[in-house]
Structure 1
């Protein structure tokens, strides 16, 4: 087949002269390999820049530049290799065909760069691209060979011709794979591997050319004249083409390197910008976390202090009024204990919404932690603060669906007013907190304004707390009074109830209602109870030595003391130190003290009763009065509260209640003590209806140990009619330091043996 003067797939002629003495200039061959190596490396760089460019226009520019580098390298290698070809003939080059070969090389290189720009390359895409590029390189080679003008004809061996095509396709496939692989990565190893890839690509391109050259045979036709070469400028021309191509490749590599550095700086700047943005977001988040509550999205205590100080300064400048309200959710702990903390968090969110809905947009609403909220609002008069507090309390009573239950919550509110109740943040917050404490002490679901009496009371309580600690530590000032308990069956005093008193150096003799609450609130109650227990046992042991060996002492036990696992051991040690028998001690507990962890309390009481110590339930009827629990408790005695006996026998309902309690207690095999007995009529009624023991002013007030023996002797000398004439106390008269009705009915103390 004759194509552009080339004899392809044709057999050699039978006549003619075959030129065998053809060779290549080694220097120019090496130069051609160096040129194509540089072009290959530049092409790999262009492919890398093309893949990393985010701008479509820049990607096109790198694609064009890469195509120029690759095509220039391939064409320059071919042309320099042709200049290295030495044959005993005069050789010329056709300009048009030479230019066409360059265009074919550019087309093949463009196909290669365009293939590398695909995001998703599958195996068939690689094969298609490699075939097209290999055909392009092969066409470029043979068009270039057609540009070789001599007096001889070019015949090509078919097997080697096809081999050159296969090498071109294989080289193209390898080049595509390497270019795709080396477009990502960095470091010295990556660069070394890219150098090796460039050498391999160049070897494939050179291999295509020289396989094609090996397939060529020059045949001088029969009768043709042989023209010998006259001059040879191949070296100068090869060097010129090589220099131009190397300069283009070097410039392209330099441009790629500069762009890489620039893009790296851009990436660094972008990273810095992203980091700055993240830092800014983190600063905002930290500020949000530092000044806002994550659960309710209300401002927290820290943010509140900052905003409140600013508002206070504005009101000071304008001489206007401002209210500070402390809110506390009533019995919120029950929600956490019964439904869990997740339900408690949900409830706090709803409550926060209720508070925000009841306040104005300019009001400052904050959550201080737990179930404690604070509101700051501007006022024209004090009534506005009251109306706002009432509006909040009313809104809080809206039913809330929580954990499958429909609940209604209440709140206690304390209010302080600027400037009447303080002129700085600390003073206003402290006074609002005191007013809140007053609201909770008044039965909750209430509001109170601060007054100076609250501050005086708080100061006194703080002073009493400090002095009570010293009194307990030094055992100075505390004492125990005893009130006899009369046995109606034997007509004798059977028991003594131990009641704590405090001989204060400034305030005189203080009853338990003045300091028991302080002891409970500050963790002193357990030490106080233990001190009373030991002192009562010691005093009873002293009475035993004076002939009162059949007496028992009853000691009250607070709810907090009842929660201590060490209580049985403390009781045993107190009896051991005093030398008392366990039957001579009776512990009194209130109903409310039993209603905590009932299972643990029952086990604790069983341990104490197992030692031989008797147990009694005090103030029965004023607490939960759960018969289901009462029948399970290991009790010996039930004490009827004085509130049920004070109107007996005049009140029929009270008579019936007392009778029912006595019958129920006897049914449960419990002895009955009625406290607060002050009249003969009460005594006669209780004796007639089976009550076992009496306690009250009719017999005696609580007295110190030094005055107790005459009282016991007086009571034991008289028969059952002594009550009508023996008591020197005025029935129903108040006693500042005895167990007054207000003290026995108090929710926080519930008498608890003090």
Structure 2
């Protein structure tokens, strides 16, 4: 078969001259190999840039450049190898066929680069592409051989011809796999492997060429004369082609390297931009978390302080007015305790929306935590603040459906006004808080503006708190007064109620109504109760040797003290240290103190009563106790509050209430003490109803332990100033008791059992 003057699959002719003296210039062969390796390396770089380039046009440009590098490397290797061929003939090259071979190389290289552009290739894709590329390389080779004009005819051995084609296909397959593999990666090892792959691919291309050359036999026709070569410029031409090819490959590699660095910088820049964007998002999230409440999306305390300071500065410069409102949801703790914290959170969201709906767009609304909210609003006069607060209170009263229940909440509000009530943010917030506490003290669901009297009272309370702490822990200034409790049946004083007093260095003798609330609010009440217990037991121990060992002392116990698990042990220790018997002590608790954790209270009272200590319930009828609980409590005595005795016997309803309480108490096997008895008529009525004990100013005001014995002797004397059941009985003489605030703040006037 003849193709372009080449004889394929044909036997050598019988006549003609076979050219045997053919050889290759080894230096040019090495040069051809170097050109092939350089072209392969440039092609791998182009394939890498093509795969990493995001721009479609730039990717096409890299594909074209890669095809040129690969085609140039293969074609230059082929042409230099042909120039390395030395035969005893004059050699010429057909320009058309040479150009055609270059064009075939370009088509094969373009096909290779296109295949590398595919996102996914399977084995059949590799095999098909390698076959086409290998055939293209073979076509390029044999077209280039057809351009070789020597005057002799070229015959090709079939076996070596097929081997060269197979080598071309195999080399193409290996080149495709390597190019796909080396598209990604970096580092020294990757670069070393890439160089090794180029050497291997170049060797395959060179081996393909020289296998085809080995298959060639030159036969000079018999009638044709032999023309020897005249001028040998093959080396110069080979070096020129190699130089041009290497220059193109080197330039391409340099461009690829520069683009890789540029893309790396762009990638780093994008990463920096992404990081900066993420940092901005994180900063915004942190800003949101730092300055906004996650539950209600309102400004939190930190954000409020920042914005409030800015607005305060603006209004200071413009001489405007601002109102600062503190809001506290009334009895919100009950919602958390009864419905749970999740329901409480949902309620806070609804309340926040109500507050936002009632305020204006330029008002600053913040949640400080828990159920505390704060509003800052610009205004022209104080009435605007009042109207806004009333609008909020009205909006708050709208029913709220929560956990299957329909709730109506109320709020207490305190207001301070800039610049009337303060010039700094701290001062305005503090004064609004004081006004809020005043609203709570007024029964909640109310509004109060700050006034200087609140500040004075707050300052006094703070001072009293500090001084009370010192007085308690240094045992300086506190004392206990005792008010006798008269037994109507034995006509003797059988009990003494211990009532704490405070001899203040500036304010004189203070009754419990001045400092018990401070002690409860600041966690001092338990220590105060225990101090009174120990002092009362010690005073009673000093009274016993004078014939009063049958008298009991009653000591008040607050709700907080009653919640202490160690109370029973502390009572036992106080009795032991004083050296008195348990039967001489009686603990008084109020109704509301009992109604806390009722099961815990019952168990604790049983432990105390098991020691022999008597128990009484104080201020009965003023709280919210249940009769079902009352019959379960281990009590001995019930005390009727003085509020039921004030108008006895003149008020029929009060008389019936007192009578009913006495009957009920006796039914439950409880003794009855009526406090606040101040007239003989009250005493006579109570005696007629079967009351067991009397306590009040009719017998005696509270007196210190040093003045107690004369009072007891007078009350226990058969002809004393008070006789049980005597219609002519009169209040004790005022001359027996000093006229000072301590004595006038007796048990009947003391708050909650003190």
TM-score of the two chains, using structure 2 as the length reference: 0.92
Equivalent pair of 1:698/1:723 in contact (CA under 8 Å): no
The superposition leaves residues 131-172 of structure 1 with CA deviations (integer Å, 9 ceiling, x where unpaired) of: 222222121112122222234333333333333233222222
Q: How many residues align?
A: 744
Which stretches of structure 1, 4 residues or longer, exceed 6 Å deviation after superposition?
Answer: none
Q: Which residue of the partner structure matches residue 258 of structure 2? A: 258
Distance 1:76 1:330, change over 3 A: same
Distance 1:34 1:680, change over 3 A: same
Distance 1:94 1:538, change over 3 A: same
Deviates more, 1:275-284 or 1:207-216: 275-284
1:616 match: secondary structure = strand
Equivalent pair of 2:399/2:407 in contact (CA under 8 Å): yes
Distance 1:13 1:594, change over 3 A: farther
Tell me, yes or no, if structure 1 residue 50 matches structure 2 residue 50: yes
The superposition leaves residues 41-87 of structure 1 with CA deviations (integer Å, 9 ceiling, x where unpaired) of: 11111111122222222111111111111110011111111222233
Distance 1:664 1:12, change over 3 A: farther
Matches within 5 A, 1:134-283: 134-221=134-221, 224-283=224-283
Whole-angstrom CA distance in 1 between matches of 2:171 and 2:190: 21
Q: What is the root-mean-square deviation in Å for CA atoms of aligned residues?
A: 2.6
User: How much does 1:643 deviate?
Assistant: 2.5
User: How much does 1:35 deviate?
Assistant: 0.6
The superposition leaves residues 246-269 of structure 1 with CA deviations (integer Å, 9 ceiling, x where unpaired) of: 111111111111112222222233
Q: Which residue of the partner structure matches residue 439 of structure 1? A: 439
Distance 1:325 1:221, change over 3 A: same
Distance 1:629 1:225, change over 3 A: farther
Matches within 5 A, 1:316-335: 316-335=316-335
Distance 1:739 1:234, change over 3 A: same
Equivalent pair of 1:326/1:375 in contact (CA under 8 Å): yes
Q: Which residue of the partner structure matches residue 738 of structure 1? A: 746
1:232 match: secondary structure = coil
Equivalent pair of 1:435/1:450 in contact (CA under 8 Å): yes
Q: Which residue of the partner structure matches residue 579 of structure 2? A: 579
Equivalent pair of 1:697/1:729 in contact (CA under 8 Å): no
User: How much does 1:635 deviate?
Assistant: 3.1
Equivalent pair of 1:415/1:435 in contact (CA under 8 Å): yes
Tell me, yes or no, if structure 1 residue 377 matches structure 2 residue 349: no
The superposition leaves residues 622-657 of structure 1 with CA deviations (integer Å, 9 ceiling, x where unpaired) of: 222123433443333333322333344444444444
Equivalent pair of 1:698/1:729 in contact (CA under 8 Å): no
Unaligned runs of 5+ residues in structure 1 are: 745-750
2:747 match: secondary structure = coil
Distance 1:142 1:663, change over 3 A: farther
User: How much does 1:4 deviate?
Assistant: 1.9
Equivalent pair of 1:509/1:737 in contact (CA under 8 Å): no
Distance 1:571 1:230, change over 3 A: same
Deviates more, 1:535-544 or 1:517-526: 517-526
Matches within 5 A, 1:247-396: 247-396=247-396
Whole-angstrom CA distance in 1 between matches of 2:13 and 2:691: 148
Tell me, yes or no, if structure 1 residue 518 matches structure 2 residue 526: no
Distance 1:200 1:687, change over 3 A: farther
Unaligned runs of 5+ residues in structure 2 are: none
Equivalent pair of 2:482/2:708 in contact (CA under 8 Å): yes
Q: Which residue of the partner structure matches residue 729 of structure 2? A: 725
Tell me, yes or no, if structure 1 residue 705 matches structure 2 residue 713: no
The superposition leaves residues 503-535 of structure 1 with CA deviations (integer Å, 9 ceiling, x where unpaired) of: 122222111010011111122212211110110
Whole-angstrom CA distance in 1 between matches of 2:145 and 2:728: 149
2:456 match: secondary structure = helix
Deviates more, 1:12-21 or 1:632-641: 12-21
Q: Which residue of the partner structure matches residue 500 of structure 1? A: 500
Equivalent pair of 2:168/2:204 in contact (CA under 8 Å): yes
Q: Which residue of the partner structure matches residue 633 of structure 1? A: 633
The superposition leaves residues 342-362 of structure 1 with CA deviations (integer Å, 9 ceiling, x where unpaired) of: 333332222222111111112
Deviates more, 1:257-266 or 1:121-130: 121-130
User: How much does 1:619 deviate?
Assistant: 1.9
Distance 1:9 1:638, change over 3 A: farther
Distance 1:685 1:35, change over 3 A: same
2:678 match: secondary structure = coil
Equivalent pair of 2:677/2:696 in contact (CA under 8 Å): yes
Distance 1:655 1:157, change over 3 A: farther
Equivalent pair of 1:291/1:300 in contact (CA under 8 Å): yes
